[in-house]
Structure formats: structure tokens, C-alpha cells
Structure 1
């Protein structure tokens, strides 16, 4: 059950978009996937074609009360993950998730306490970065005091990359040099993403040829490989 944290130190980097479509791309590739919205904003569901007034099941709701869209089980985790019982479970080495699926957690930019609680239990933290001056400046806050290249179990994604913009192109080059192999890819700016949300549609249904969709599918393959458990000697044979 790989736990993947999606967290950026800068709001507006598109973390909820990345979390939602990463989960959908993993499901599309044949993996079990659960997406948990651990934010107060509750916007993850919008990328699944739901409306702002729609409710999704609580993390602790029974299995038979679940909601599955695009092959992904959706859960709202704000209440459960901010209750004392959740922290106590983590302190005891217990993750309140079950099954052998990928669990993708959407964590708010300012909720570093929850991120730090979950990080020791995660297979990977995915950090979306916007190719802007503010996005680059926020990199110092990923884990303050630790060089980015030294961060374990951490991967970076450039989100909303518009290569017609000079600064974005330069930021892309800078990040590739700075992060090396920790930068696992980029997602291009694509207005069909906002269009799909506005029309309460899934992006694959609204714009099957979306460039952003193709980018996130490629990233999902990379992430699935990174998070795959090592083969045993019997499996390798």
C-alpha cells in the first residue's frame, strides 16, 4: 500500500490537480487507487467531475459507503486526519488505511504538521512546483535547512509549464540543473483543465487529447515504478 503525499510549500501550484490525476492515471494503468482530500478547502473532488456542493465519504466511513470515480476511491480526510486519534495511531506505527492500493494524499500547502506526521510512512512525496519567481522562492521551504538534492523519498514536478514564456523556460532549465534526477517530469499548461472543472467533467472525457493529461499519465508510470516494492529472490527468478 504505497502512500504518496502531494504537497507543495506554495499554494496555487496545482497540488490538488496533480493528486487527483495521478490517482486516476494509476487506476487507468491497472493499479488500485484511493485519493484522500486532507485539506480544508475540499477541492480535490472538483477534478473528478463533482460540483462544489457535492460531498464525498469520510475517510472513516464504511467501505460500502465509498464513492468511486474514474477507478479511484474518493475519501475526505480533513476531519479524520486532524483528530487526536489519527496522530495517536501514527505514533503507534498504525496507518488508518487498508488494502493493497496506492493511496494518494492531497495536503494543503500550509499544513506542514500533517505532512511531517505522514512523511515517515510515505513511499514518496511529490512536490509540484510552478515555474514562477514565487514558485522558485518557495523551494527553500520544502524542508527548511535541508538541500533539495538531499531529500529522501521526494520527487518534484513542474506544473503548468508554458514554454512560450521566457521566464518559464528559464525556470525549467534551472530546475533541471538544480534537482537532477529528483525532477521526474513536467505538466504543460492546458486550458482544458480549467474547462473540465468548470463544466463538472472528467478531463479524459472533456479533452482526451489534453497535453496535461498525457503528461500526468507519463508521470504516473514513473511514480508507480519508484514506489513498487523490491522484488524478492523468488519473484526475480
Structure 2
């Protein structure tokens, strides 16, 4: 009897030493992976879970026919201006929300064709907007294109506003698509920004560089002033949100 009790005691002590319990071990995750969801590495691009607004009217051909996209449904054109390549508004022509497309020289930046190739553009934007600002910079894939996405806190008519920016480099040009909206309406109008970005088409630079040379009579003529559309554009420029400091 004493021998049996000693054996039972030894068995209990052995189980305790091995850390065993009466609870069943958790089942392995399907597919052989860990049951704990892995955390993405810092700086890794994640597929953007974006919703696209229905497509509305197409923009006119821009930059000599090289660039074109679709406005979100319900949006309208703003007058042309030297401040941007294209702009549109939703309801209030002099207010927000509005979409603005800007174009500048890429300055040697590579084409944004993947998360890896976007790294230099991320560095350039960080240098421009400042790393200390809450830009929430990420690389996102929208449609068949890659963009660097970041935000700025703004004020418009003394109310909190947001600027959401998508930037990409294509055919030697750097394109910035900006959504300017009141902060409370940001989520409502983000699908419109993503629609414009997803439908943005840029022709290859080789095609764009082929230009018809002017005739001698055209060269002799003084350059005519373009039709005046600056008055509405000036109104728009005066209402442009300023970044909050």
C-alpha cells in the first residue's frame, strides 16, 4: 500500500515538473500556420481596402492629350487654372469637397510601379512635408496603379478640414491627386478620390514627345492670349484651404 502511494506521488510530481495540465492543447491553425495573426513589418505596403465611387463624366484630355480620368459620379468641372492640371467640385463651386490633380516634373524619381519602386517617392514626400507631421504615409495599390498616400490637417472657413493626397510617378511626371474636404465628411468622399485615381491614364512619354512643328506663318504670329477663365479660378483660389500649423 505504501509502495502504491509512493508511486502515485512520484507520478504527480513528474507531471507538475513537465508543466502538463488537464486542459487540451489549442488546435493548430488551418494551413499549418500560427494561430496568432502575424503583424506586418514596418514600411510594408498593404493592399488598400478601398471602395470606388461610381464613375461619372470623363475629364477632357489633359496635358496635350496625355492624361485623362473619370470624375466620380455627381462631380462637376472647375474652371481651368495655372495652379492645377484639373479640378472638380461636388456641390459648392467655391467650397469643399473638391478634387485637384497637379502635375510636376519627376526630377529623376523612378516610375511608381510597385511598393519597392515607391520608396524613393516616399522619401521625397517626407523631405517636403516633414517627418514630424502626422502624415500617416503609406503605399497603396488602387486599381492597376501604385500610389503614396498621406494626409494633412487643414482649416477651411474656420472648420476642421482634411487633405488626403495620392501621389505617383508615370512617364517622367509626378502626379498628385488631392481630396480636400471637411474632416467629418472625409470617409464619405474617399471613394471619389479612389475612383479618380483608379481611372487615371497617362500615355507613355515617347508618344507625348512627338509634336507637330509650327509653320513659319504660325511662328511669325504673336502668341494670342487664351480665353479668359481666370475670374472663376481666382474665386476658387481664394477659397483654397490653408494647412493648419
TM-score, length-scaled by structure 2? 0.23
- Could you say which structure has the higher helix fraction? 1
Structure number with larger C-alpha Rg:
2
Higher relative contact order (CA 8 A, sep 6+): 1
Higher strand share: 2
